[in-house]
Structure 1
Amino acid sequence: MAKIGIYGSSFDPITNVHLWTASTVAHRCHLDKVIFLPCSNKRRDKKMMTEDKHRLKMIQLAIKDNEKFITDDFELKQDAWKITTYETLKHFKKVYKNDDIYFIMGADLLVDIGNGKWGNGDLLIRENNFIVMARDGIDMVKVISRSPILRNNDDGSTFHLLDKGLAMEISSTYIREEFALGGEPRYLLPEACYNYIKEHCLYK
């Protein structure tokens, strides 16, 4: 039985912080695989600057040398307005039915789920396990205790709360802005992705 982490994000673009976070989580939580799961640009709650094919390709370039990292285009193929994280995790639990599945997310998303902003949030928490990464200014224990959705569906093993120990919060937004304004974000993302962005004139 393997332990598999599902790491969902827009990855627009994937950054060195994404990779460092996935590596840290895999090491500390003894994960056998981390699946990078880019969300579709058809989603109505997010505005992405880049076509799905480019974001997927950059992930593939970024993780090609790490045997623990894989990418999956499941959400890119779905009708984005019909699918929630709950349905996504049901899919992966069927694909990896003999393994333990964990959803990797930041504490900011835990706040959103606790406030009822996610579809099927009650079932999502009740039926799944989560690795939650600390964010500055968010007390994860208090977030859980103050939310009926979170505290009433936590059996004691639902949430693995993880403090990375180092605040590295450089965002994809920052990198996009640097490219757009003629900045130089070269060492904030993998070299292969930097070159890909330059080659395809992304984020101009």
Structure 2
Amino acid sequence: MGKIGIYGSSFDPVTNVHLWTANTILHRCNLDKIIFLPCSNKRRDKKMQTEDQHRWNMLELAINDNNQFEADAYEMNQNAWKITTYETLKHFKNKFKDDRIYFIMGADLLIDIGQGKWGNGDLLVKENQFIVMARNEINMLRAISSSPILRNNDDGKTFHLLDKGLAMEISSSYIRDEFSLGGDPRYLLPEACYKYIKKHGLYQ
């Protein structure tokens, strides 16, 4: 049985922090593979700043030299209002029936799930396992214990809480802003992605 992490984000664009986070999780949680899952551009809570094809191309450029990283367009091809993370994880559990699937997220999303902001929250927590990355000094144990959705569906193996040991919070939005304002965030994202953005005039 293999161990696979599902890492969802807009990746608009993918950054060095995304890659560093994925690599940290891969090694510290002894995963066999991490699947990068770009979200749908039809989400109501996020507005993509560039076309899906550009997001996809940059992600492939960023991970093509690591055989333990893989990109999957499943959510990118879905209508966002018809799908939740619960359905997404069911899809991957069916696709990889012989493997154990973990959903990778930040501690801020743990709080959102605990507050009932995610569709099928009870079933999502009850039927899945999560790797949760520390973020913004959020007390993850307190977040779990204070939420009925989280604590009542936790069998002791549901949440793998992980502190990266180093605060790295450079966001895609920061990089987009730098490009749009004429800055040069060259060393905050993979070199191939930087060149791709410059070539195609993205985020101007």
**Counterpart in 2 of 1:102?**
102
Show CA shifts across 1:51-78 (max 9, x none).
Answer: 1111111110000000100000001111
- Percent identical pairs in the alignment equals 76
Regions of 4+ moved over 2 Å: none
Matches within 5 A, 1:78-157: 78-157=78-157
The alpha-carbon deviation at position 89 of structure 1 amounts to: 0.2
Show CA shifts across 1:85-131 (max 9, x none).
Answer: 00000000000000000000000000100011101111100000000
Once residues 31 and 40 of structure 2 are traced to their aligned partners in structure 1, the CA distance between those partners, rounded to angstroms, is 25
**Counterpart in 1 of 2:182?**
182
The alpha-carbon deviation at position 137 of structure 1 amounts to: 2.1
What letter matches 2:113 in structure 1?
A: I
Once residues 164 and 125 of structure 2 are traced to their aligned partners in structure 1, the CA distance between those partners, rounded to angstroms, is 23
The alpha-carbon deviation at position 136 of structure 1 amounts to: 2.0
Once residues 52 and 75 of structure 2 are traced to their aligned partners in structure 1, the CA distance between those partners, rounded to angstroms, is 10
What letter matches 2:118 in structure 1?
A: W
**Mind listing any 5+ residue stretches in structure 1 that lack a counterpart?**
none
Number of equivalenced pairs: 204
**Counterpart in 2 of 1:65?**
65
**Counterpart in 2 of 1:194?**
194
**Paired residue secondary structure (2:81):** coil
**Paired residue secondary structure (1:4):** strand
- What TM-score, normalized to structure 1? 0.99
**Paired residue secondary structure (2:110):** helix
- What TM-score, normalized to structure 2? 0.99
Once residues 50 and 144 of structure 1 are traced to their aligned partners in structure 2, the CA distance between those partners, rounded to angstroms, is 35
What letter matches 1:131 in structure 2?
A: I
**Paired residue secondary structure (1:135):** coil
Once residues 162 and 137 of structure 2 are traced to their aligned partners in structure 1, the CA distance between those partners, rounded to angstroms, is 14
Once residues 119 and 74 of structure 1 are traced to their aligned partners in structure 2, the CA distance between those partners, rounded to angstroms, is 18
**Counterpart in 2 of 1:159?**
159
Once residues 53 and 148 of structure 2 are traced to their aligned partners in structure 1, the CA distance between those partners, rounded to angstroms, is 39
Question: What is the CA RMSD across the aligned residues, in angstroms?
Answer: 0.5
**Paired residue secondary structure (1:8):** strand
What letter matches 1:62 in structure 2?
A: A
What letter matches 2:142 in structure 1?
A: K
Residue 12 (1) aligns with residue 12 (2): yes
